[in-house]
Structure 1
Amino acid sequence: MTGREPAHAFAGSAVALVVAGAVAMATHQPWLFPSLGPAVMLHVEKPAAPESSPRNTLIGHLVALLAGYGSLGSCGLADRPSVLQEGVTGPRIVAAAGSLAVTAAVLLLLRSPHPPAGATTLIVSLGLLRTPTQLLVAAAAVVLVTAVDWAYNRATGRGMPIWAARREGADSG
């Protein structure tokens, strides 16, 4: 590790969240939510890693949002207060476990690992973001920070792929 890597991570993380935060302030919508932090950290710390690629980031969070919302609905929790307000219940545990299990399995099937998606699916299945508008804003926030991080990495000479990272063992050509 060089002395420049911590500065790069510091600046890149700050830029992405300041941009998302400014949009959140302007729109009064949840453009900032917890799983953006680990996604941004992957982008700025390991921009060439498969799990950091725009492909895996976008697919990961989309699958997570859908799995979380599906679990929320199938467990009868779509109109219930969040786990923070209502507490942990049996249906909430089933929704959380189900959403994480589905997210993990689907991302492996799609060859799109992105660990921060595990936090996104829990945020939804625990009812912290639960309306269709909130889910669309969360998806847009993932697109926004991914684009900001991509531009930041490119501007600073770091190799974040345009879409997908090159798989290890893939032919060069």
Structure 2
Amino acid sequence: MKPPLLERLKARRTMLGPAVYAAVLSLVLLALSGVAGLALHLPWLFPSLGPTVMLFFESPDQPSSRPANTLVGHLTGLVMGVLCLYAVGLKGSPPAPVGGLSVAYVAAGALSVALTTLLLTWLRKPHPPAGATTLIVSLGILTTPPELLSMAGAVVLITAAGWGLNLLLGTKPVPAK
């Protein structure tokens, strides 16, 4: 039986093979999410998906690449972002990039990342891109229920597709614990 594609590429002792593997599969997943967003007229492509797909294909053997870590991480980021946005009274305010960074946005952003880190570390479900997800929400960039649901949908889509591609191509991701 032939070794998985990624392992054969790594065996060539050059980083070009694994780099192309990660780049092409990242392109496929982000394009898939973007096409879903275009079809639905919703933000199914947002910044924290980039590092998530990079983890899937650059570091499939790391715990932070596990599907459970990805799903729990981004869900935690969404929830903490919303909670902090409301807690500091920013719901309905212009997003920080539009209205300007204020003390309240700094508090919401810093607190949301701290709480996301606390919960994910406590649960032993590390997924660093979730820190970007929580900032997207706590800084007021994507906050409406349809936007939050589309973010969750995009995370589910790329997680399922990324896991499936890795399995299809023979990459053995780290088992779930």
Identity %: 47
Distance in 2, matches of 1:154 and 1:29, equals 29
TM-score, with length taken from structure 2: 0.89
For 2:141, the equivalent position in structure 1 comes to 128
1:140 aligns with 2:167: no
1:94 aligns with 2:107: yes
1:19 aligns with 2:54: no
Q: 5 Å matches for 1:47-126?
A: 47-126=60-139
Determine which of 15, 26, 34 is the counterpart of 2:47.
Answer: 34
Query: 1:78, CA displacement in angstroms?
Result: 1.2
Which deviations, in whole Å up to 9, do the C-alpha atoms of 1:39-72 show, x marking residues without a partner? Answer: 0000011112100000100000000000000000
1:145 partner letter: I
Aligned-residue RMSD, C-alpha: 1.2
Distance in 2, matches of 1:48 and 1:140, equals 24
Distance in 2, matches of 1:115 and 1:78, equals 25
Query: 1:155, CA displacement in angstroms?
Result: 1.5
TM superposition outliers: structure 1 runs of 4+ over 2 Å? 1-4
**What secondary structure, in the 3-state scheme, does the structure 1 residue paired with 2:52 have?**
helix
Distance in 1, matches of 2:150 and 2:104, equals 26
Distance in 2, matches of 1:114 and 1:47, equals 12
Q: How many residues align?
A: 164
Q: Please identify, of 22-31 and 146-155, the stretch whose mean Cα deviation from structure 2 is larger.
A: 146-155
Query: 1:99, CA displacement in angstroms?
Result: 0.3
Which deviations, in whole Å up to 9, do the C-alpha atoms of 1:131-161 show, x marking residues without a partner? Answer: 1211111011001011111111111111125
**What secondary structure, in the 3-state scheme, does the structure 1 residue paired with 2:114 have?**
helix
1:83 partner letter: A
TM-score, with length taken from structure 1: 0.91
**What secondary structure, in the 3-state scheme, does the structure 1 residue paired with 2:44 have?**
coil
Distance in 2, matches of 1:157 and 1:4, equals 15
**What secondary structure, in the 3-state scheme, does the structure 2 residue paired with 1:128 have?**
coil
